[in-house]
Amino acid sequence: MPLYLTGTWEQAILTAVAKAASDHSDTGFLDRTALQKIVYFLQLSGVPMRYQFDIYYYGPFCDRIPRDVEWLVADDVLLDTSLNSDKYSNFRPGISAEELLVSHAEKLQVHQATINRVVQSLLPFEPSHLELVAMIDYLYRQLKAGGGHGPWKERVIERFMVVKKEKFERPKVSDSYDTMVRANLIEV
């Protein structure tokens, strides 16, 4: 089936993420939030993309991703397998996925291990936990880029609590920050 609406590198990344998620479907589902956060962390892991993330209610958000997903669904590259797509989603490769993946196969092969690792690591998390860790990471990078020196933890947590207000309890934010430090994702 020819692709009419899709074909960009970024759309191939989204499709590769859905394919990797379908390989690990027993550990979680790929909803809109998970897709946003996985792509955010893929970009931080060195997978080149033109997506630009800004802070949003649920953490780092790129408004091009939902539009690309709509085009991918329209072209049967992605399929939403959820029972209630108005309420949540669960993206999987559609019947035209392989065509898009093949058209970017050489470049995807370079990044496939990273895509698999990030998807496998993040897919099991609840959307709210993905929101939490992505927001911590985003604020950490924002504060660090603004200059100054560590320690970063209290500055990040204070900024987090201002942005997210009462959505997460401070001890949970602190524990998540410490987990990210232990995983060498952010500095002390």
Residue-level pLDDT at 150: 76
Residue-level pLDDT at 93: 96
Residue-level pLDDT at 147: 82
pTM for the structure as a whole: 0.89
Going from N- to C-terminal start, the domains of the chain cover 9-124, 128-182
Helix axes 105-122 and 32-44, enclosed angle (nearest 10): 120
Contacts within 8 Å (CB) and 24+ apart, 154-159: 156/186
Residue-level pLDDT at 1: 62
> What average pLDDT is seen over the chain?
90
In tens, the pLDDT along 140-160 reads 999 888 887 778 999 999 999
Residue-level pLDDT at 82: 87
Q: Do residues 127 and 57 make contact, with C-beta atoms less than 8 angstroms apart?
A: no
Residue-level pLDDT at 185: 79
Helix axes 9-23 and 64-74, enclosed angle (nearest 10): 70
Instruction: Using alpha carbons, list the distances in angstroms from residue 140 to 74, 134, 145.
Output: 37, 10, 9
Q: What is the b/e burial string over 55-78, where b = at least 16 CB atoms within 10 angstroms of the residue's CB?
A: eeebbbbbeebeebbebbbebbbb
Q: Do residues 28 and 121 make contact, with C-beta atoms less than 8 angstroms apart?
A: no
Give every residue of the chain whose pLDDT is below 70, as ranges: 1-2, 188
What whole-number distance in Å separates Cα of residue 68 and Cα of residue 147?
34
Q: What is the b/e burial string over 8-39, where b = at least 16 CB atoms within 10 angstroms of the residue's CB?
A: eebbbbbbbbbbbbbebeeebbbbbbbbbbbb
Residue-level pLDDT at 2: 66
